[in-house]
A and B are shown apart, each in its own frame.
Chain A
Amino acid sequence: MAKDNVNEFRLIGTRPDRPDGLDKVTGRARYGADISAANMLHAAVVRSPHAHARIVKIDATKALALDGVKAVVTRADFPTGLTGEDWNLQENTIAGDVALYDGHAVAAIAATSALLAKDAAKLIDVEYELLPHVTDVDKAMAPDAPIIRQGAADASVPEGLHPNVVKYIEFGHGDVDDGFAKADLVMERHYKTEAAHQGYIEPHACLGQLGEDGKGDMWVCTQGHWYIRRMCAAVLGLEGSQLRVTPSEIGGGFGGKTTIFMEPLALALSRKAGGRPVKLVMSRSEVLRATGPTASASMDVKLGMTKDGMLTAGKANFRMQGGAFPGSPVDFALYCGFASYQIPALFHQGYDVIANRPKCAAYRAPGAPMGAFAVESLLDEMCAELGLDPLDVRLKNASVEGSKSSYGPKFGSIGLVETLEAAKAHPNMLAPLGPNQGRGIATGYWFNHGGDTSVSAALSEDGTLQVSVGTPDIGGSRASIALMAAETMGIPYENVRVNIVETGALGVNEPTHGSRATFASGKATVEAVQGIIKEMCRRVASEWDIDPEAVTWVDGSAQPAGPNAGKFPPMSIAEIAGKMSETGGPIAGHCETVPEGVGASFGTHVVDVEVDPETGYTKILRYVVVQDAGRAIHPAYVEGQYQGGAVQGIGWALNEEYIYDDMGRLQNPIFLDYRVPVASDLPMIDTVIVEVPNPGHPYGVRGVGETGIAPPLPAIANAVAAATGERFYHLPITPVKIVAALNARNDS
């Protein structure tokens, strides 16, 4: 029942206050570290100071001798025999024979206070034998690179490659050589991006309790508590249903809180300490050293273009290291790289490489920003070479509904052309540019994910509605879900309360990831509410003694469907709810699904920068994000996703990077040195919400959360190139690099 082309909704598209707003402006909202329990212990983690080292001995005698120290766990306290990703998760939670990166956990301790736990952790004596290490992706693939782990590669890796290459992917279509032969200009360039951290302001925190009977509870800040349950159960050898996981409010995630890092340690310590609850809160440096940054990338891209701007062929060869385990997003980087364009011939190759760095986690559109940086930078350089307008060239080649995507399937309904047209019409495109100023544009793409989804909705005795969902609210999804529920039910927004409920209360839910909360939980909410409406109509039909089909639901009340149904005054939801006890009992609806009909989202960004030739400082003068939302349920929070994504991309393009010394130790594990954008770095971020409804969602929703981080990397590189005449192929484009490039030009 798609409502395409219906623009007059009662509530969809309005901007009411979010239901959890009051708690979050008063300090009452409870995040991960805000939760405590009676008789609670505090934990601290001992981490490897070495990039790669054999663990010879762990001696906790001195620590355990302290009054108030209740338990120490090492890998010996965890079950053996795990395989595949379960083994990876266990190994990353706590090192086995070898510490694989600076920050890798090797032991954990629980004590009666946080200070005591930290003091005691220092008394745990760990003897290491240093091993050669490698942190750079290209060096990790080189023939003489130290082998991080034999046998980590899967069957996709061709023979002859270094054991650190753990996955290989190739795909494409058309005759690439023929395509390049038809081009007037063929250009190939090498690009690099550095690892960036999601940078959520809330460090990981949890409170775990586990008894000898294998029954446990966990309170944790997470994007997905069923994932926490499944992963903790696997790592600890528990039965999943015996572990109940309750999500706290979450202080940002961006993909980084879709997995476990230290949660099993809290549970293992609790079990060893006689079932006392154990609280474990990471410091910022632990977050940066040991939780998921994204991958670093080394990429070669080749494109062919005719002199009138038609793309004829493309080749991409991407290498990414995602830390000491398989799982870099090299596949998605390749899927997204050329996705904006219809290119007759394409060939993609990707290498997933392990290195002595923390296990990467998802970061907002994983892989897409790197792919976009390489492809959109090259496209821009070629447009400049041929004297073509970069926006017009993108329009000429743009993917449209029905065109074959670069990664295979045909696109359904998409709105790339609409975003390009809207960008072209934006007043920023006409703003005059002065000396040292330049304009950059770029597009970006990300998918939308369905995933396991379970929602229940229940009518209260007063006719209001409670909706229980399993996708934590990170950016206003309670508001969007309440809007869809109220719109469907025909009741005021304020009459809906959306609760994020624990693992015991619903079927399995995937996390708030893949831009799916408003799409998937929203779609399931609409179905659950429709179930309630159907039941209410049935009960009213019974009271009126007519067929259920003869009752229809209009504006929040049951009415006879037509003149033949009989003459009855409308029966309101409050009236129906008030007597539900007598008409058959509680009224509830639910929906368990893997929703289909996902709606992918394209975006186009335009940025103006000014580069100070003396200091190399890049100032963002103007920025506009244009993106297809399908339909914006709560436009303010859609704008928020656009703005937040753009600014994370700006940080990645200009400032943020993981810096390792020659011993493989992270040199910038605090916010002073890992510098995310601050308010004074930025102008207002303008937004244009394009709405090409997704026919797969009852209100036309697409996933909007992730796309916005992809275009800023190339858009800024393109703008800096326009401003300085120098092109930068290696992010971040720091002042140091800019000054060096300008000085080199002046010297020559």
Chain B
Amino acid sequence: MSKIHVTTTVNNEVVEFLADPRETLLDCLRDRLDLTGTKEGCGTGDCGACSVTVDGTLVCSCLVLGVEAEGAKIETIENMAQDGALHPLQRKFIEHAALQCGFCTPGILVAAKALLDKTPDPTETEVRYWLAGNLCRCTGYDKIIRAVMDAAAEMRGAA
């Protein structure tokens, strides 16, 4: 099948790649652009390990075709730390031991950031329901929820 040329912006850099029309955005990020921080856990949109934002909207990149990225603005885990400084969520995840194997962590961080970007003061229940699409098999979620709540408090200046 002939490939399609795609021009898009990933983490504030304009990039180009050739995509098989059947390839997902996740495949293209990982295999065409070597951005392997975004993970595949299921390929069916059930686990959230592949979470990225497309034009500011949180998506499972395994449910988006690579060719749909044409002209879009995509952000991945690789862009979360800015100017050499970790995002408060990243710092709080380490501080709270909110990761064990760490495989779901990039997707959860991207998803949690999308929550805090629009809901700076979420309740525990809001965090739990927002992250219900991100599976973690190691932690039982306790420390993840605490880390997100703590990061939100710090970002609000409440901590």
Contacts and interface: CB of A to CB of B under 8 A. Distances in A.
A202 B104 CA distance: 8
A475 B39 CA distance: 18
Interface string B71-99: 00000111011000010001001111101
B37 A28 contact: yes
B128 A24 contact: no
B12 to A, nearest CB: 16
B44 A671 contact: yes
B28 interface: no
Given A115-B20, A682-B128, A252 B101 contact: yes
A284 B133 CA distance: 16
Interface stretch (A29-37, A171-179, A530-538): A29-37
Contacts of A27: 35-38, 76-78, 106
Interface residues of A, number: 59
B72 to A, nearest CB: 19
Interface string A336-350: 000000000000000
B46 A640 contact: no
A198 B104 CA distance: 15
B100 interface: yes
A682 B125 CA distance: 10
A644 B97 CA distance: 12
Contacts of A249: 101-103
A249 B109 CA distance: 18
Contacts of A17: 94-95
B135 A676 contact: yes
Given A28-B37, A647-B141, A637 B128 contact: no
A640 B141 contact: no
Contacts of B44: 284, 670-672
A202 B101 contact: yes
A201 interface: yes
B127 interface: yes
Contact of B100 (A114, A115, A476, A672): A476
- Residues of A contacting B: mostly: loop
A3 interface: no
A202 B90 contact: no
Contacts of A475: 100-101, 138
Interface in A706-726: none
Given A25-B94, A637-B100, A201 B47 contact: yes
Interface in A633-654: 634, 636-637, 639-640, 643-644, 646-648
A678 B78 CA distance: 25
A250 B129 CA distance: 27
A83 interface: no
A147 B90 CA distance: 54
Chain A CB within 10 A, most for which of B30, B31, B77, B140: B140
B142 A684 contact: yes
A199 interface: yes
Interface string B33-57: 0011111111110110100000000
A283 B93 CA distance: 28
Chain B CB within 10 A, most for which of A24, A639, A643, A685: A24
Contacts of A33: 30, 36, 39-40
B142 A251 contact: no
Given A27-B78, A671-B42, A643 B94 contact: no
B101 A640 contact: no
Contact of A640 (B39, B97, B105, B145): B97
Given A25-B93, A25-B105, A251-B102, A679 B144 contact: yes
B119 interface: no
B131 interface: yes
A685 to B, nearest CB: 5
B102 A679 contact: no
A281 B109 CA distance: 24
A34 B36 CA distance: 6
A30 B125 CA distance: 32
Contacts of A691: none
Interface in A473-516: 474-476
A676 B96 CA distance: 23
B134 interface: yes
A681 B131 CA distance: 11
Contacts of B41: 201-203, 251, 284, 671
Contacts of B30: 33-34
B137 interface: yes
Contacts of A31: 39, 103
Interface string A667-710: 00011100011111110110000000000000000000000000
A631 B129 CA distance: 35
Given A25-B93, A672-B44, A201 B137 contact: yes
A197 B134 CA distance: 18
Interface of B: 20, 22-23, 27, 30-31, 35-44, 46-47, 49, 76-78, 80-81, 86, 90, 93-97, 99-106, 109, 125, 127-129, 131-146
15 contacts: A26-B37, A26-B86, A27-B38, A113-B20, A249-B103, A254-B137, A284-B43, A475-B138, A476-B97, A476-B100, A636-B96, A636-B97, A647-B139, A680-B128, A685-B142
